[in-house]
Amino acid sequence: MFLLSAMVATNQPMTTSNRAPKATRAPSKVAAPNDSVEKAYVKLLAEDDAAQKEADKWIRDADAFTAKGGGLPRAALTAKIEQRFELVRKSYIDFLARHPDHTRARLAYGSFLNDIQEEEKAVVQWERARELDPTNPAAWNNLANHYGHRGPVKKAFEYYAKAIELDPQESVYLQNLATTTYLFRKDAKEFYQIDEQQVFDRALDLYRKALQLDPNNFPLATDLAQSYYGIKPLRTDDAIAAWNQALKVASDDIEREGVYLHLARVELNSGLYEEARKHLNMGTNAMYTALKNRLLKNLAEKEKGTNAPSEASAQQK
């Protein structure tokens, strides 16, 4: 949905990080799969998923054609996507007209609306889902995402905590609260009545708990590792350990080489020049060439500064 969101956004706000709290949709698995209402609900989710995949494909194809000098004009592509999604919207509206108390359908419809940048309408659906079933953690999580994005942020802390209380085994809720705590440190300090280092500790602990529940999640592992960049003074040993953990769950050479560069960056900033050079030499992918060369230049400058004679010793000579 990243392609689609970028395509249809009309007033996308600035973001403070590449991280984004994740919305959750109620699972399609049901206890009574032969029930006619549940069959219709599962079909509705399938229609939603198919439309989103189709729209994303249109965007990728259009980008490829544009690179070759062709393709649909952007306005025409946007109109085509909007028409496709109007069919999905109508299906949701028709289903909810027949089954207004179907909590999972309201959650799913809210996620659909949020994906196409109709955030306020999404909140209406999620609030209704929360009223229908206060024990459904997805509703609390999705509303927390909204408050973290639009404010008040302190309400996001409350709602994420409620989602975690209702389902402590869902790593996404822990990750979302960790991200919000880390990004909005001033609010977290006031809400939890703690200092900034304790805010960092709280966020890191949440990330670690999420990773325990989903240990092979590479993006989650990198979220934890990248958190150390914002902490002063740098917690070198912990940062290196976190990046090594991410390295263990990297799924391909691109992810692994990206981790090597991060390890080199931490080591370079910590005076571990030999280790930094070793990790820089382990990367060969051309997509990282510019970053690798910049780090190598920084490393050479730091090594030169380390090896340069002091002013006093130079005068003695």
Q: Please provide the average confidence, as pLDDT, over all residues in the chain.
A: 89
pLDDT of 233 over the 80 cut: yes
| Mean pLDDT to the nearest integer, 113-138 | 97
pLDDT digits (tens, 9 = 90+) for 162-192: 999 999 999 999 999 999 999 999 999 999 9
Residue 269, number of CB atoms within 10 A of its CB: 15
- Look up residue 164 and give its two tokens: 């975690």
- What the block records as the tokens of 76 is 């025409």
Hey, what amino acid is at 36? S
How far apart CA 135 and CA 129 sit, in angstroms, is: 10
- Copy the structure tokens of residue 301: 């400058």
Q: In 99-169, which ranges are continuous DSSP H helix? A: 103-115, 119-132, 137-150, 153-166
Rounded Cα distance between 110 and 162, Å, is: 19
Q: What is the pLDDT of residue 314?
A: 42
Banded model confidence at residue 148, pLDDT cuts 50, 70, 90: very high
pLDDT of residue 88 exceeding 70, the answer is yes
CA distance 164 to 177: 9
**Residue 44 confidence (pLDDT) above 50:** yes
What is the pTM (predicted TM-score) of this model?
A: 0.84
User: In terms of Cα–Cα distance, which of 146, 120, 110, 115 is closest to 5?
Assistant: 115
